Amino acid sequence: MITVTVVLVVITVIVILAVITGIVNLLVIAEIVVQAMIAVVVVLVVIVEIVVLAVITVIVVLAVITVIVVLAVIVELVVLAVITEIVVLAAIAGLAVLAAIV
């Protein structure tokens, strides 16, 4: 009878230890899953940050290109005005020469 009781106690202790081990394993697995989820969130935040920086870079580049184009148009207008002025002065000089000849 004592042997049966001892065997039952040993079996009970083994079962309790197995349950505790299972719970600890589940806690470890849960911790790993939580850390993996945190890592995924961090990676997603980094990706979003990179995308935002890329968009800002594109906007800045487009703004710089726009400024360059506007400046080129202004320079072109100034050059055309200077050329027009030269042509008008040449025409006036030509008319003056013709008037002097006539």
Residue 77: inside a domain, yes or no? Answer: yes
Structure tokens at 77: 């207008």
The whole-angstrom separation of Cα 65 and Cα 74 is: 14
Residue 62: phi, psi to the nearest 5?
A: -65, -40
Domain span holding position 34 = 21-101
Q: How many domains does the chain have?
A: 1
What average pLDDT does this structure show over 65-69? 97
At residue 52's C-alpha, the angle toward residues 36 and 49, to 5°, is: 25
Cα 100 to the center of its chain, rounded Å: 72
Whether 46 is covered by a domain: the verdict is yes
Q: Quote the strand ranges of the chain, DSSP E.
A: none
Per-residue pLDDT tens over the stretch 7-54: 899 999 999 999 999 999 999 999 999 999 999 999 999 999 999 999
Would residue 16 count as lying in a domain? Answer: no
Residue 2 has pLDDT above 80, yes or no: no
Give the pLDDT of residue 77.
95
